Structure 1
């Protein structure tokens, strides 16, 4: 806080304010920035990351590997894992500006960009980050409705046989998911939803494990491994051009499956104060999470391709390559829905917080914004209820307009991968650590950034081409 006195300014640290106000006893409950003491640990940070990473993206990996084949598919997945882990460690170093233990905290991804880069790059970051988070919310709404509809269809197939089309609309399920999100969105921030992330992380392992088990069982039943070294073959039903677009979209699908950099700083801001430094804890959590998810991804994607070959569906558990046991499919799809309830909140909290901070600073005396009362983990205010409910309703409507799970996932992964996962972490690290542009490290970092930009552009082109193709035969709200 700055106190003016004849043009001079005295900077008073947040802790000094507490002591001067006679609240020295509260100092033990405050962090170095005057905010309530953070309680996050290596385990809660890992749970948040796993919740964000092992999401609906895992379900499209068998399809992605089917486009690329046995050679390129696993290799591309390992390459993305390595790049994302490395750039995440660079981003973790940017949580504090200056000293890694006592420097100024950056509470959000945009704060980190503002502190380290500034200028137009802050606006560019904000537009990309929040547009991506809105897209993720739409994608998760689509994925949850597909899983809820799959539960009904699995039971229908079991009762009536596979010849029955068992058709149903996904719109009611999207509305139901939206209503649940309106309730959970009234939980104000990450610190209050750690339990939801842990539940969601358990669910992600549940449905990934079921998908893996079914893939192994189907492969054994087939009497061998399906698929080819180069992926889906050109021939009946697929042209050479479609093969190219699908292969490029597969890159976007894999990038989306690993996407969590856009909320890494927000997760890091929940970790308790050092020692050890938040960056060190975050790197450890990232290492565990990326290694864990890569093992699951490789197993689920590869076994799904081994089971179905070129016919691998774009959603492993809802594409009905599997029909039985129907009850196990139901359990898997329930786990997906529960996981997506938590993942939606993890990804949307930065948007909620950004808008509410802006509103509070613009109208600091407004009771409409500031007056609230708490009921358990919920903090209710008229503004929060209105704004967050409107956001959920908007994403639900867009999901009903564009229920293309695979194409939306690929486009989101392609658009966000380069700027949020590679470009900003690299540029901030170079600026913060003073890496010389002509040094070997500086040249390698920039080459990594340029290479990933090319991959993002190619993946976006493939996804857009496939979205356009799907729109030619789709009628809005007919899902």
Structure 2
């Protein structure tokens, strides 16, 4: 992602001791800040649904699928990290975005396909986060309402005011110029993700220790009066999709890597950050998923925090939901910065003489000092955040559709492109042992994506049947 330069003449070459060797803003990121970005992106609110996912798959398949996807994600992320510089992974030319990497390694129509998959996914995630954050804030309002007025009270606050509040916060934060300035927000968001995960984990452990009887099985939720065989299949598909997409951060991996200092080599630091990020998230996923399943059994809720009710301990549930909202505020910025950077780069290239697009105005911000403000950035980013909030209000079931968007992006961005670029860069002979097993991995993940897409479509159709615009449920 291209850094913004403070200059009145875009054609002038910037001379700055703080600039990198290619004239861009000097990178200061480390494996620690990259790990924070990864954890912020990966440990999303999806961790809350893992107890439900394992309840559909059971004690054998559930943990096995979790471990399998952690290995796949880490492996393909190392392949993608080596593609950041081309043709040499250490001394080659930098590529600032995922599309640049695909262009350097593969070229042709695959660059366009990569862009469609990446940016459609990023837009979908930002809309989904707007919905999920508002749900968490509403959960706080409901728990306090029940605590004050009793458990039989009518406590159904609307999501829409909180979507608007979330959008206002994101409008302010969206003026952070680029990924390089986002580390503090990612670290805060990562801390919040640990906090609500630990609260949910602690409540699950307490429930298990309390001796509450639940039914768990090796194969998960059983077919019976409350679950037909077809519903079992759909839920299994959705569970596999939930787990697969819970690990997918390849969409923004290159943009994260572009924040790293050049020494030690970026690919080595990124591999270390990926190992830390994926290992940490897998540990949390296993704990929250498995212990959550033990606590709730085959009836585990989609969000295991709400499974403890909106009642007592209401204050602890409130803290967890506030942490979710804060985490999603940071995660929203991690996912939308590549979109901002892409549009702003294209506009500067298309209208290089426009001062509205290129000129930076330095503003003195209290307690901060000088801060660059760009009129185009202000208008465009505000418009984007407002649009995503509006779509979230119109389609509040969008999280179901998000699974379908994820199904369309997981395979190409996390598996297909990293493997194809590695084969092309290393000139691996067709039908050789390495070529064959890489292709088997690729096609297997394609099948998983298709299966998850089918499950998501079924869930989407179910949502559409009961859809009533602007109606509070």
Give the TM-score taking structure 2 as reference length: 0.93
The alpha carbon displacement at 1:163 in A equals 3.0
Unaligned stretches of 5+ residues in structure 2: 1-11
- Which of 425, 443, 462 matches 1:469? 462
Would the alpha carbon gap of residues 423 and 21 (structure 1) be closer, same or farther in structure 2, given more than 3 Å must change?
closer
CA deviations 1:66-86 (Å, max 9, x no partner) are 111111111111111110010
| Structure-2 separation of matches of 1:66 and 1:82 | 22
Q: Is 2:74 the partner of 1:85?
A: yes
Whether the aligned pair in 2 keeps the contact of 1:253 and 1:413 (CA below 8 Å) is no
Q: Which of 309, 313, 318 is 2:297 aligned to?
A: 309
How is 1:66-465 mapped onto 2 (pairs within 5 angstroms)? Answer: 66-224=55-213, 226-274=215-263, 276-321=264-309, 323-375=311-363, 376=368, 379-404=372-397, 407-465=400-458
| Contact persistence 2:142–2:310 (CA under 8 A) | no
Secondary structure of 1:247's match? helix
Structure 1 residue 318: deviation in Å?
3.4
Instruction: Return the alpha-carbon distance in structure 2 between the equivalents of residues 164 and 71 of structure 1.
Output: 42
- What are the superposed Cα offsets for residues 9-48 of structure 1, whole Å, 9 maximum, x if unpaired? xxxxxxxxxxx9895xx4x533222212210001111111
Indicate conservation of the 8 Å contact 1:52/1:347, yes or no.
Answer: yes
C-alpha spacing 1:319/1:355, structure 2 compared with 1 (3 Å): farther
Per-residue deviation, 1:406: 5.6
Paired with 2:310 and 2:299, the residues of 1 have a C-alpha distance of 12
- Structure 1 pair 158/22, CA: closer, same or farther in 2 (3 Å)? closer
Q: 1:167 to 1:350 in 2, by over 3 A?
A: same
Matched positions, count: 456
8 A contact 2:127–2:398 mirrored in 1:
no
Q: CA separation in 1, counterparts of 2:320 and 2:153?
A: 22
CA contact (8 A) 1:252 1:411 kept: no
Q: 1:228 & 1:321 partners in 2: Cα distance? A: 24
For residues 281 and 409 of structure 2, the distance between their equivalents in structure 1, rounded to whole angstroms, comes to: 19
Contact 1:246 1:466 in 2 (8 A): no
Q: 5+ residue gaps in structure 1? A: 1-19
Question: Structure 2 vs 1, CA of residues 22 and 261 (structure 1 numbering), >3 Å: closer, same or farther?
Answer: closer
Moved over 6 A (4+): none
Write the distance in 1 (CA, Å) between the matches of 2:401 and 2:59: 24
Aligned to 1:50: 39
- Structure 1: distance between partners of 2:66 and 2:371: 39
Determine helix, strand or coil for the equivalent of 2:177. Answer: coil
Say which SS state the counterpart of residue 379 (structure 2) adopts: helix
SS at match of 1:35: coil
Q: Could you give the per-residue CA deviations for residues 191-241 of structure 1, whole angstroms, max 9, x where no partner exists?
A: 111100111111110001001001111122244554221112223343221
Whole-angstrom distance in 1 between the partners of 2:295 and 2:468 = 32
Alpha carbons 1:145, 1:177 under 8 Å: kept: yes
1:62 equivalent to 2:55? Answer no
- Judge conservation of contact 1:246–1:463 (CA < 8 Å) in 2: no
- Tell me the distance in 1 between the aligned counterparts of 2:43 and 2:254: 18
CA offsets, 1:315-371, max 9 Å, x none? 222355463211111111111111111100001000000000000000001111112
1:237/1:390 CA distance change after superposition, 3 Å:
farther
- Counterpart Cα distance in 2 of 1:311 and 1:161: 26
CA–CA separation in structure 2 for the residues paired with 1:442 and 1:147 = 46
SS of 1:29's equivalent? coil
SS at match of 1:40: coil
Distance 1:215 1:411 in 2: 30
